[in-house]
Structure 1
Amino acid sequence: MKMPKALTGLLTKAANAMALSITGVSLTDLRLGAFMAGGPTHSGQMVTVDTAIQLDTVWACIRLLSETIASLPLKLYQRETENTSNVARSHPLFSILYDKPNADMTGVEFWGCMVACLLAWGNAFAQVVRRGDGTIIALNPLRPDRMTVRRDPNTGALIYTYAWQQQILTLSETEIFHIKGISFDGLMGLSPITVGRQSLGTAMAAEETAGKTFRNGLQTQNYIKAPAYLTDEQRKLAKASLQDYAGAINAGKTPLLEGGWSVESIGLNPEAAQLLQSRTFNVQTICRWFGVQPVMIGSMEKSTAWGTGLEQMNLWFLQYALMPWLVRIEQAISRCLLSPVDRLSYFAKHNVDALLRADTAARTAFYIAGRQNGWFTANEVREKEEMAPMDGGDMLTVQAQMIPLSDVGKSAVQPTLKPVPGGQPPPDPAPSGTTGDPDV
């Protein structure tokens, strides 16, 4: 019997509303599969953010990037001239970005949450709370897997729909702070976990295999060979006896076999199957999806994080792993949180000096060069070393012996004039060819 169109429409609307309330994505949205399971994998594993984050490498990459970015001071600056700027402490947005985005979170907690969402789902959202005059007073983070973005065909404006606890919240562009990862449509970023689900599925399958191997006491699949067919009663007794030797807790026990019974093994042992090598390779593969060097998360098989290479490794980490995310955050702040007028003179910037610090000797040489060549003041050096400013420390100085090339060879010593008793001026020098004595 064919179902009436009216009933079909009602059921479709009900199912769509249920999917929207549960996942934040409607049934007609092509991203539903990605939000539900991340899509099919060759390994047969179900890859989602919740399952992928159980891999230690995924957790370590997200933790490293999110905590590092969250710990970098993010301040609002005001341009004074084309090349100079000052910290805009008086602007209402300064405190929200730097230390108190909302009543429940500190700055480190908020930015750690935002960057973790950005790495896991490819998007980070926060609700912008404003006063009646439009001043921003809080930023509340929102889960990306509960958000859908669409463009109004009539006005062209973006509409954000957020589903949480069976409630639907519709927000406009001015009410959303949205940071996007790599994107193909400009509306939603791509999730590394969804795009890399095949690699993550393989790693999850290797973890599952390793877990089962340990659960079985590091033994491969074995079977007991009987000399003859057994009766049902004999088979039950044999299975009950073998339970005493099953599982990792019973590993090492020696079974007692009677009547010509023998133990046979099938399959490959973990070493022959290269299980450990496969898990090591999976670490490198997952690190590539997040743009992190394996050594940064503790994988030291072929490298070290000590010695003279530490400074260069930090520089690589800043330039290639952190900087793309930092720029995305800074430009998203300008787009979503600053008014068109404020964008002309205000901008947000992370302070990355802590990551660029070298050892004491190299840092001292850097400061000396800046002081002697006039591009560092004493108070600027003291500020970088977290010391209080001192009186007279805001003057730029250079080495006194440094002169222009055009003045090389010219005497820079002024003639010394000796004082004359009585305050009389010294006599004029004698003309050339005379001794200066009037009687001669």
Structure 2
Amino acid sequence: MSFLDRLFGRTEKRDTVSAEPVLPSMWFPRGPGNPEGLSTVLACVNAIGSGIGSLDVYVYNTSGDTRTEAPNHPVARLIRQPNENQTWPDLVEWLMGSVLLTGNALLTIQYDGAGRPTGLTPVPWQCVQVDRLASGRLRYTVIAWQGITRTYLDDEVFHLRDRSDDGLMGRSRLSRARDVHTAAAALQDYSLNMWQNQATPSGIITFENARPAPAALDELKQEVRNKFSGTGNARQVMVMSNGMKWQSIGISPEDAEALESRKFSVQELCRVYGVPPPIVQDYSNNTFTNATQASLWFATNTLLPWARKIEAEFKRSVFGASSPFEMHIDLSSLMRGDYATRWQSYGIAIQNQILTVNEIREQEGYNPKQEDAA
């Protein structure tokens, strides 16, 4: 839709022919089947969403041979406050959560009378049906919370997709790796049921002679509790009499193997989302060196591709393909917590005359350095 169309309130003529429905490949319920019930899935989604949401975002004017920041552009104001209920990090976390779990994330774009974008409203993917029109364009039918149905064309929505099979709709990674998710969920259910339903004592007392009377058994149980239960009685010497023997009971090999398999399922789910295991607090094969490399790998191979997809979709839907403006997500913000590396890079930038001292001070939030009087 052009600027003049938005200015005068004109809408594009919609095709009236029957449309071909394109439905999401997999919708996840919020109940027990929710994939975020697996801690690894939850940790991966949170790591990617909060990682991108914490990055600085800028709007640039790329007209001519230079690129200059445009802090007063309407989209720059959207980045500061995308809608009445969410901040930019909140919106990005929602956006990434939706696309990582369902394969798609949708934002409707609001405009003022002059055609300037004024708001980005998230729409749960379960409330969206997408039709392909005869012209090849996509029509999004959105059911609002009040039951009101509205339709949008593809240039009126921000649609972030995971990898697509048809070039139109994204497909969730868990639907592609359904067996991985199913196996991990089954192992979690097995472990939960094992601890909830099994009564596994720490040991058994057996009798070589005749079984004592019930009263004697109750007295023996109470004596064992008093003398050998609790942290204060740990490692006490137990003296058995009357042909009694103590036999320790540990976890069975089958149960131990199931618990070990859960560790492997963590690595499998990390592969699905492209997240290094140390990022989701799996330090089973961790060293100082590979922990550092994991953070670099996460920024380069996980966050950067998603940042690029968000930038490209903003260019398509919010700015428009012919606009000289573009969004830039700055991954150097990840160095905020790494003071040594950040200041070393500043030193290299000054040495090679890439940045000045005052430009670095501005990035760090300091006032410009005053030149000494001659």
- Coarse TM-score class (shorter-chain normalised): 0.7 to 0.9
How far apart in 1 are the matches of 2:93 and 2:200? 42
What is the alpha-carbon distance in structure 2 between the residues aligned to residue 128 and residue 33 of structure 1? 24
Say yes or no: does 1:297 pair with 2:276.
Answer: no
Match of 1:336 among 314, 317, 320: 317
Q: 1:310 to 1:380 in 2, by over 3 A?
A: farther
Contact 2:24 2:102 in 1 (8 A): no
- Say if 1:295 and 1:303, in contact at 8 Å, map to a contact too: yes
Of stretches 361-370 and 61-70 in structure 1, the one that deviates more from structure 2 is 361-370
Task: Give per-residue Cα distances to partners, 1:232-254, cap 9 Å, x unaligned.
Answer: xxxxxxxxxxxxxxxxxxxx9xx
Is 1:374 aligned to residue 332 of structure 2?
Answer: no
The aligned counterpart of 1:34 is 26
Q: Residue 155 of structure 2: SS of its match in structure 1?
A: helix
Matched, 1:123 2:104: yes
Residue 212 (structure 1) aligns with: 193
The amino acid that maps onto 1:95 is R
Structure possessing the higher radius of gyration over alpha carbons: 1
3-state SS, counterpart of residue 179 of structure 1: strand
Shift of 1:354: 2.5
Q: Deviations over 1:74-128 (max 9, x none)?
A: 221112653x4222112111110x2200111111111111111111111110111
**Aligned match for 1:76, one of 59, 81, 86:** 59
SS at match of 1:139: strand
- For the 8 Å contact 2:278–2:291, the answer to whether it is kept is no
The corresponding residue for 1:8 is none
Amino acid aligned to 2:259: L
AA aligned opposite 1:74: V
Match of 2:363 among 384, 394, 399: 384
- What letter corresponds to residue 88 of structure 1 in structure 2? A
What is the deviation of 1:324?
Answer: 0.9
Q: Is the 8 A contact 2:22 2:169 kept in 1?
A: no
Change (3 A) 1:103 1:185: same
Letter in 2 for 1:216: N
Residues 371-396 of structure 1 show CA distances to partners (whole Å, capped at 9, x for unaligned) of 23322211122133332223459xxx
**Equivalents in 1 of 2:118, 2:26: separation in Å?**
34
Give the Cα separation in 1 of the matches to 2:168 and 2:177: 20
Q: Corresponding residue for 2:299? A: 318
1:63 aligned residue: 46
| 8 Å Cα contact 2:98-2:124 kept in structure 1 | yes
Give 1:6-405 correspondences, 5 Å limit: 31=23, 34-35=26-27, 51-79=34-62, 81-82=64-65, 84-96=66-78, 98-153=79-134, 155-165=135-145, 166-217=147-198, 219=200, 269=252, 271=254, 274-304=257-287, 307=288, 309-342=290-323, 345-356=324-335, 359-391=338-370
Distance of 1:99 and 1:218 partners within structure 2: 55
3-state secondary structure, aligned to 2:121: strand
Q: Which secondary structure does the structure 2 equivalent of 1:105 belong to?
A: coil
The percent of aligned pairs where both chains have the same amino acid is 28
- Which residue is equivalent to 1:247? none
**CA displacement at 1:56 relative to structure 2:** 0.6
Query: CA offset at residue 143 of structure 1?
Result: 0.8
Name the structure, 1 or 2, with higher relative contact order (CA <8 Å, separation 6+).
2
Match of 1:336, as an amino acid?
S
Give the drift of 1:319.
0.7
SS in 2 for 1:174: coil
Q: 1:287, 1:87 → 2: CA distance?
A: 37
CA distance in 1 between counterparts of 2:103 and 2:199 reads 39
Deviation at 1:289, TM superposition (A): 0.6
Q: In 2 relative to 1, CA 376–56 (structure 1 residues): closer, same or farther, beyond 3 Å?
A: same
Q: Secondary structure at the match of 1:353?
A: helix
Q: May I ask how many residue pairs the two structures share in their alignment? A: 304
After superposition, the Cα gap between the structure-2 partners of 1:51 and 1:341, relative to the gap in structure 1 and judged at 3 Å, is closer
Measured in 1, the distance between the counterparts of 2:119 and 2:22 equals 32
Task: Structure 1: give runs of 5+ residues left out of the alignment.
Answer: 1-27, 38-46, 221-251, 253-267, 394-440
Between the aligned partners of 2:296 and 2:64, the Cα distance in structure 1 is 29
Q: What letter corresponds to residue 276 of structure 2 in structure 1?
A: Q
Decide whether aligned partners of structure 1 residues 377 and 309 sit closer, same or farther in structure 2, where only a CA change above 3 A counts: farther
Residues 66, 112 of structure 1: 8 Å contact kept: yes
Q: Which moved more, 1:138-147 or 1:372-381?
A: 372-381
Residue-by-residue CA offset, 1:329-379 (whole Å, 9 max, x unaligned): 00000000013442xx21101111132468545444432332233222111
* In 1: Cα distance, 2:200 partner to 2:169 partner: 47
Normalising by structure 2, we get a TM-score of 0.74
